[in-house]
Amino acid sequence: MHTYTEKLRQVMDHAAQAVVGKHEVIEKILVALLAGGHVLVEDVPGVGKTTLVHAVAKTIGCSFKRIQFTPDLLPSDITGVTVYNMKKGEFEYKQGPVSANVILADEINRSSPKTQSSLLEAMQEGQVTVDGNTYKLPRPFIVLATQNPIEYEGTFPLPEAQIDRFAVRLTMGYPTFTEEKNILRSHRSEDPLRRIEAVMGEQDILEMQQAAAQIHVDDTLYDYIVQIIQATRSHKDIYLGCSPRGTLALFNNCRALALIRGREYVIPDDVKELAHCTLTHRLILKSEARIQGKMPDTVIAEVLKSIRVPVLAKVKGND
């Protein structure tokens, strides 16, 4: 357990060389990776979304492909195509860029919903189907997508079915005065991305995913998680609450966070900490709530406040 924690700490420290002051964001990406999920990083242009994804990809030492989403991108540009090989006299599959461990879907909301949806099967089942034939994708597999807020020109909102497949949604935010000054210092000689080296590989990640799946979750926390999800479906300001996929995402994310923090069990604080980044993008608020200026984050905060936090005997023993 401690070996995993130390290696994951190295990953965060290495990635932080390129994205100053974003340890928490990097940690949440690792949460999704160990939980077998995907990440949506949403923020305004220029705050380091693409740099963040590049930095994390380099530290984990897996195969990496970048897909630049544009209005003219086609689904086959992502999944690959079947072509006729004249020498062999048969059709053969030419892999698309989705056939890698880490996929950077850069500015994913700049392509049409049809193209965005070409990732649905890959994100859910770890495979792609081309011309009736199904091809497995390598493991581990994670999509790290970036997007600008939908109110910017030239963007398309992600389909609900796809946005629900992201285990975590993150925002970068602007750096503080000190952080921005450190960014300038880090770029004095060369791009800090060039200095980042791999800390672990594919097998390490697969082992950590298995270890995360063995993290203990007390039965009272099963109740706590389900109560939170159920509350989103009956809240007065929510038109569409969280799906069962959201329930599983929160459950798996909590186990992954416990592993990263060096614990063999989940605590209620894990659930509270991850509820916002796991659930807010799955909610659709009622029009009246949006008119009043309410945001999904606010509603999730109300939900968490309305539910009694369980007290675990194991936690009390550690206190």
pLDDT of residue 257: 96
The whole-number pLDDT of residue 317 equals 42
**Which pLDDT value is given to residue 195?**
80
Please give the structure tokens belonging to residue 241: 């609450």
The answer to whether the CB of 298 falls within 8 A of the CB of 232 is no
**pLDDT computed for residue 1 by the predictor:** 62
pLDDT given for residue 2 in this prediction? 64
What pLDDT was estimated at residue 319?
43
Q: At what angle do helices 244-260 and 219-234 cross, to 10 degrees?
A: 140
Strand pairing class (90-95; 133-136): unpaired
* Domain ranges within the chain, ordered by starting residue: 2-201, 215-308
Tell me the CATH number for domain 2-201. 3.40.50.300
Angle between helix axes 2-15 and 49-60 (nearest 10 degrees) is: 140
Mean pLDDT by 10 residues, the chain (319 residues): 82 86 91 95 84 88 90 91 85 90 91 86 91 90 86 74 91 87 81 82 92 95 96 92 94 96 94 95 91 91 93 57
Question: What's the pLDDT score for residue 153?
Answer: 67
Q: Give CA–CA dist 138/99, Å, rounded.
A: 7
Q: Domain 215-308 is of which CATH architecture? A: Orthogonal Bundle (1.10)
Amino acid code (one letter) for 42: E
Contact between 173 and 44 under an 8 Å Cβ cutoff? The reply is no
* Token output for 213: 């799946």
- CA distance linking residue 226 with residue 251, whole number of Å: 9
Residue 5 tokens read as 């924690």
